[in-house]
Amino acid sequence: MVAFENTHRWYALAALALCTVVIGLDSTVLSVALPTLARDLGATTADLQWFTTSYLLVLAAALLPAGMLGDRFGRRRLLLIALVIFGGASAACALAGTIGQLVTARAALGLGSAVIMSLIGAILTVLFDERERPRALTIWITANALGIPIGPLLGGWLLDHFHWGSVFLINLPIVALGLIAVAVLVPESYGDRARASTCPASCCRPPAWSPSRTASSMPGNTAGPRGALH
């Protein structure tokens, strides 16, 4: 890691921030599409809640296992896989023709998001020393914050001009750029007990306003979505 040049570290941070922006964007872009989804798919209020809840539940449940798997099998490798999952799930959401298909695809999006969010925090603690780490983490958190308000604005514009599936397809070019950037700029890293013991636990937590932090506050809904098995 010492051989990894200083300039390249910041380029790698830019690549990781790009991945974070798409997650923040995706977590809010769906909100403006819900009325259109209700009309086109015949979704009830409970179904609309599951479009969001399926994403958040999987996201919250997968954060910790994702970090452990990254420590063992390689964070860069798993991050690339997660970006592929996220891109594939975005395409599946756009092509969904039933309520069940969309709920399943949204759950897959949550899985990809969980792995991405968990691993980026860990990768940053490896790339940057204690002096540079606060600045790097601030940039990462800011990237996530930027994606959240952009989602509804971009989603509204897309719905005015294109099919509702476009709110998911917008992820694909960003994911493609993220894949290339991570593959070229981010070095592989694995778990390090010594480093973990000196890194504050807050380093690897998602930002306070990230989607995973909202999952526990979602209202309960014991009724599953209609058509979930179709």
User: Distance between CA atoms of 93 and 105, rounded to whole angstroms?
Assistant: 5
pLDDT digits (tens, 9 = 90+) for 39-63: 999 999 999 999 989 999 999 999 9
- Are the beta carbons of 94 and 166 closer than 8 angstroms? yes
Looking at every residue in the chain, the average pLDDT score rounds to: 83
pLDDT for position 5: 58
pLDDT mean over 188-202:
54
Which H or E element spans position 124? helix 99-127
Of 46, 26, 45, whose CA–CA distance to 117 is shortest?
Answer: 26
pLDDT for position 19: 86
* CATH superfamily for domain 6-215: MFS general substrate transporter like domains (1.20.1250.20)
pLDDT mean over 176-191:
90
Domain boundaries, the chain: 6-215
pLDDT for position 106: 96
107 pLDDT exceeds 70? yes
User: Distance between CA atoms of 119 and 117, rounded to whole angstroms?
Assistant: 6
pLDDT digits (tens, 9 = 90+) for 162-180: 999 999 999 999 999 999 9
